[in-house]
């Protein structure tokens, strides 16, 4: 018992020492890593901050206070922001509900629709490569007695439309498929899925956190009924997002949060005016600069992939090569451990997958869903390119990556065996 206590105390001590070392490194290291993780979050655009500041300091009224000028000022700003969000996706401002982010929006949409229509419909369809908050919301519904179908995806990461249509039942209330995947960047055929769902009388929800402001979206053309939006993925503030809820044909959902009845009674609580203004400004800037940003990000992504794949062999791009958002590049480096490569590239901020599950040592469930071998799933790195990425940063990242992959492979006995012409899959490994 005493020994266990000593071990636990030592473990806590080691953790605190590690935190102190990390803190010290951040304080003394003036050269911060290059940022290449734009799928995890984006830096706030300075123009967004400019729009927000007056509502942090001077215009601080509660937007729901109807009896004085402070409230009216904030309400006007909030409604202007609502219109900016709506304009970006081709919606009516009355269809935009402010939330704390895409996780809340996804929870509201999936649980809200399923619970509202549960008397007649108790079946929900989603895909195996959705964000964790969508999958966990579906698990909660299963615990409540709902039937959930988790669609497999093809090797390119795309949903099989015929399988999706065949999976829809008379008691299906909702289909939830994300627009752009946060790990491998594939862009699902949401417009085609929307046609199928509308023809079957089923609501379609899409998690568009990685797509809004980056690819053109029109909810009417796509026949989307609910859409989740995140502020910090489009150079806006953290802590704010939105849920698009169609008015005609009307979508009903049971609120998760009750109280003062704000946001059409769907999301009670005071709307944070500065954050809403920031989200609106981010959407407005994205609408103006989307085409330029997309062309530039495409050029930088092509430059990165070309440099890496032309210099080192056995590099696999995960996900469909054409149907994708170019700013999310997920590469697997055969015979290299992804975590080792991340540590070797410590002067570049990269990820081995979703930021929400990056603490796990398990290989990405998204890569497993597209059929990647476990060793390749373990060797993947996600490169995130965005509005403020420079050519010099891309070149530096590519050169460092090439150098470190070569170095790690030279240390790998597996790489040596492959060079000697041995087929690793033919070896029967034994455990001692």
Residues 6+ apart with CB under 8 A from 225: 197, 203, 204, 205, 245, 246, 249, 251
300 CB burial (10 A radius; 0-12, 13-18, 19+): buried
Q: Which residues of 43-64 are buried (b: 16+ CB within 10 A; e: fewer)?
A: ebbeebeebbeebeeebebebe
- Among the listed residues 138, 197, 328, 356, the single catalytic one is 356
Instruction: Answer yes or no: 356 catalytic.
Output: yes
SS3 195: helix
Dihedral of the CA atoms 33, 38, 44, 46 (nearest 10)?
80
Edge to edge, the sheet with strand 380-384 lists 315-317, 328-333, 380-384
What does each C-alpha distance from 323 to 13, 158, 287 come to in angstroms? 48, 9, 21
CA distance 351 to 255: 34
Which amino acids are annotated catalytic? 356
């Amino acid at each position: 018992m005493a020994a266990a206590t000593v071990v636990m105390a030592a473990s806590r001590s080691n953790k605190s020492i590690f935190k102190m070392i990390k803190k010290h490194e951040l304080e003394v290291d003036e050269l911060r890593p290059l940022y290449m993780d734009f799928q995890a979050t984006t830096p706030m655009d300075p123009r967004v901050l400019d729009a927000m500041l007056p509502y942090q300091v001077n215009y601080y009224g509660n937007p729901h206070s109807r009896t004085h000028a402070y409230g009216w000022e904030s309400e006007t700003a909030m409604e202007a922001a609502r219109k900016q969000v709506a304009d970006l996706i081709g919606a009516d401002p009355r269809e935009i509900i402010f939330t704390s982010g895409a996780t809340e929006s996804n929870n509201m949409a999936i649980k809200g629709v399923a619970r509202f229509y549960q008397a007649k419909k108790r079946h929900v369809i989603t895909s195996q490569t959705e964000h964790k908050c969508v999958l966990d919301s579906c698990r909660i519904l299963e615990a409540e007695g709902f039937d959930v179908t988790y669609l497999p995806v093809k090797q390119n990461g795309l949903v099989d439309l015929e399988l999706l249509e065949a999976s829809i039942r008379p008691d299906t209330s909702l289909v939830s498929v994300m627009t752009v995947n946060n790990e491998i960047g594939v862009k699902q055929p949401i417009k085609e899925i929307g046609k199928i769902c509308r023809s079957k009388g089923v609501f379609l929800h899409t998690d568009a956190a990685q797509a809004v402001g980056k690819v053109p979206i029109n909810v009417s053309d796509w026949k989307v009924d609910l859409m989740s939006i995140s502020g910090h993925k489009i150079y806006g503030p953290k802590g704010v997002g939105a849920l698009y809820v169609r008015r005609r044909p009307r979508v009903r959902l049971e609120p998760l949060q009750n109280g003062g009845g704000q946001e059409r009674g769907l999301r009670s609580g005071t709307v944070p005016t500065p954050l809403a203004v920031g989200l609106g400004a981010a959407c407005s800037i994205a609408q103006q600069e989307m085409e330029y940003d997309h062309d530039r990000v495409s050029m930088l992504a092509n430059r990165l992939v070309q440099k890496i794949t032309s210099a080192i062999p056995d590099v696999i791009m995960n996900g469909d090569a054409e149907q994708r958002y170019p700013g999310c590049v997920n590469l697997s480096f055969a015979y290299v451990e992804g975590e080792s490569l991340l540590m070797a590239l410590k002067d570049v901020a990269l990820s081995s997958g979703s930021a929400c599950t990056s603490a796990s040592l398990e290989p990405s469930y998204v890569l497993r869903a597209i059929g990647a071998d476990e060793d390749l799933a373990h060797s993947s790195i996600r490169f995130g390119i965005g509005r403020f990425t420079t050519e010099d940063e891309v070149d530096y990242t590519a050169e460092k990556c090439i150098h470190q992959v070569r170095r790690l492979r030279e240390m790998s006995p597996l790489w040596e065996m492959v060079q000697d012409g041995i087929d690793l899959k033919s070896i029967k490994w034994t455990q001692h």
